Amino acid sequence: MARRWPVVVLASAVLLLGVAVLLLPRASTQGGDPAAATGLGGCSPLSDPAGAAGYEAALAAFADPDFLGADVGLSLRLPDGRLVWMYGDTTRRPHAEERTVRNSMVLDIGRCRHLVRFPQGGAAIPDRDDGIGYWPTAMLARRHEGMTTLYVMAQRVRPATNDLGFVILGPAIAEYDVPDNGAPVLRSVTDLGPDDSARIGWGAALAEGDDGWWYVYGTRHPGATDAFGWEVHVARTRAGTLGNVSAWEYWDGSDWVDRADRSVAVIPADGGVSQTFSVIRRDGARGTTWYAVSKRDGDLGTDLAVWAAPAAEGPFGTAVPVGLIPNDARIVRYMPLAHPDLTPATADAIVVSVSRNSLDPQVLAQDPLLYRPFFVDVSLPPLPSGRWLDQRHSD
């Protein structure tokens, strides 16, 4: 089954908020050999997509029997020039042994788009032996010693006991070896902290600085408040040390410290972001600007919005709406994600994808491709607000 409306996920996750703990790595227990050989599915022809319209057309045209629909849709340009995509809950054609996997990986190589196939036809980040699965949230890559390491942050999840949604159990990191011109091979999956204890969902976004630091953003819902959004926290670590949580430093409002429990919110929950969002950096004539991109007031909100800051840790200004992505009686639109690698670094615009689903299974039965993200172009500085961004599927 495809992921249910993430507002239910929010409600379930709020019940688990507790005392913050220092995140300590805990190895996942998984079946099979994580380093078993992987390969690529067949070539789905790919033209040279440009802008939101081009990438939306490319996704609509992607054909593989093990990829019918999916949400999330992170993207990252690898050092060898290829483009890797990570998706969340992925539905497959009726003949598939597993009709849904928690995540999948796609690779753009030249004029072809390939589904990356993992052992036993499983997920790119395999479920644990106890059935806990992983939803990808952010990616970064590092080139070293003739090899690229791909780091994928994820949230581990289990179905709620009332079967009305999913419970977020805490973050995790998957690492892949990516040989030049070869398929990514899973090296390891590491859970951060014990299940049910993570107060801040670290890895909700990742961003790379030009100073050798990688910035790790976390989201948290404050619980018993009227806020529908999620507040944002930020940590940092040196490039390539993402899996070594003991090396992380946390922003306490005035300095970087080594205690997670001193982290402070850099974007408040009132008018805050979705549980998973994006942070990008743009270098211009006036200096460096950092942008957080998300749905204001979380996935219950209506506005695609941008928060700007002079540094990775802020201070972030007030959200500026750049378009409308409300939910309606038929369709829910959630988790906007920025794709800075799909436009030139000097461009004043970015491509943003928005996940899409329906509470009515008949809607997806009539239009299966609706359960794929759609894409929009967003200017930086933002365009005037008030544009409906999914007019084709609105009531």
pLDDT tier at 224 (50, 70, 90 boundaries)? low
Angle at 153 (CA atoms; ends 16, 67), nearest 5 degrees: 100
State how far the alpha carbon of 375 is from the alpha carbons of 80, 118, 253, in Å: 25, 27, 35
* pLDDT value for 54: 95
Range(s) of the domain holding residue 343: 6-393
pLDDT tier at 206 (50, 70, 90 boundaries)? very high
- The DSSP secondary structure of 39-51, one letter per residue, reads EE---EE-----H
**Residue 145 CB partners (closer than 8 Å, separation 6+):** none
Q: Is residue 124 part of a domain?
A: yes
Query: 4 or 218, which is more confident?
Result: 218
Provide the 8-state DSSP code for 35: T
Q: Label residues 279-302 b or e (16+ Cβ within 10 Å = b).
A: bbbbeeeeeebbbbbbbbbbbbbb
pTM (predicted TM-score):
0.89
* pLDDT value for 8: 34
Task: For 134-179, write each residue's pLDDT tens digit.
Answer: 999 999 999 987 889 999 999 999 987 765 578 889 999 999 999 9
Task: For 316-337, write each residue's pLDDT tens digit.
Answer: 999 999 999 999 888 999 999 9
Number of helices (H), then strands (E), in the chain: 3, 24
Q: Is residue 310 part of a domain?
A: yes
Q: Is residue 1 part of a domain?
A: no
Task: For 334-349, write each residue's pLDDT tens digit.
Answer: 999 999 999 887 778 8
Q: Is residue 154 part of a domain?
A: yes
Give the CATH number for residue 248.
2.115.10.20
Q: Is residue 358 part of a domain?
A: yes
* Mean pLDDT for all residues in the chain: 86
**Domain total for the chain?**
1
Residues in a beta bridge with 85: 75, 106
Provide the 8-state DSSP code for 67: B
Q: What is the maximal distance between C-alpha atoms in the chain?
A: 56
H or E element in which residue 25 lies: strand 25-27
Task: For 101-145, write each residue's pLDDT tens digit.
Answer: 999 999 999 999 999 999 888 999 999 999 999 999 999 999 987
- Give the residue-averaged pLDDT of 268-274: 96
- Give the residue-averaged pLDDT of 61-86: 95
- Give the residue-averaged pLDDT of 207-235: 91
The residue to which tokens 């600007």 are assigned: 289
* pLDDT value for 22: 38
Which range of 70-84, 334-348, 357-371 scores highest in mean pLDDT? It is 70-84
Query: 196 or 29, which is more confident?
Result: 196
